[in-house]
Amino acid sequence: MDIKDIIKHQIIFDKKLNFRGDRRGNFDDLVFNTIGIMGEVGEFTNLVKKEIRKKKYKRERKDERSLDREKMLREELIDIFIYFLKLSVVLGVDIEKEYFKKLKKVERRFK
């Protein structure tokens, strides 16, 4: 399965659950998905902060000691990925094409 297939699968999944958010050029979908991805990035960041506190300061809240943060980070990362996919649809971005275009640009910058 390639990225285009994953995007199609996400669109079908969202429609099945009556979710909106993948309408090309729709401002409300752009806003909703932007807020959604930032919320998920915030949750991911908060987990990283707690891991830093645990490792650097050897301190952890009692109610967080049994949490599997690595599993939680993976879940948040996938939440971010889902919103990323939805934003690519709203903005009409060909992720594969733009990815390789960006790599070439970065390569030229750092050669």
Domain count, the chain: 1
**Does residue 52 surpass a pLDDT of 80?**
yes
- C-alpha distances (whole Å) from 10 to each of 20, 64, 68, 84 are 11, 32, 27, 11
Spatial contact of 21 and 32, defined as CB atoms under 8 Å apart: yes
pLDDT of residue 55: 79
Residue span of the structural domain in which 24 resides: 3-110
Neighbours of 82 (CB within 10 A): 19
Average pLDDT (29-35) is 96
> In this structure, what CATH number is given to the domain that contains residue 11?
1.10.287.1080
Q: What is the pTM of this model?
A: 0.87
Average pLDDT (68-78) is 93
pLDDT-wise least confident of 20-24, 97-101, 104-108: 20-24
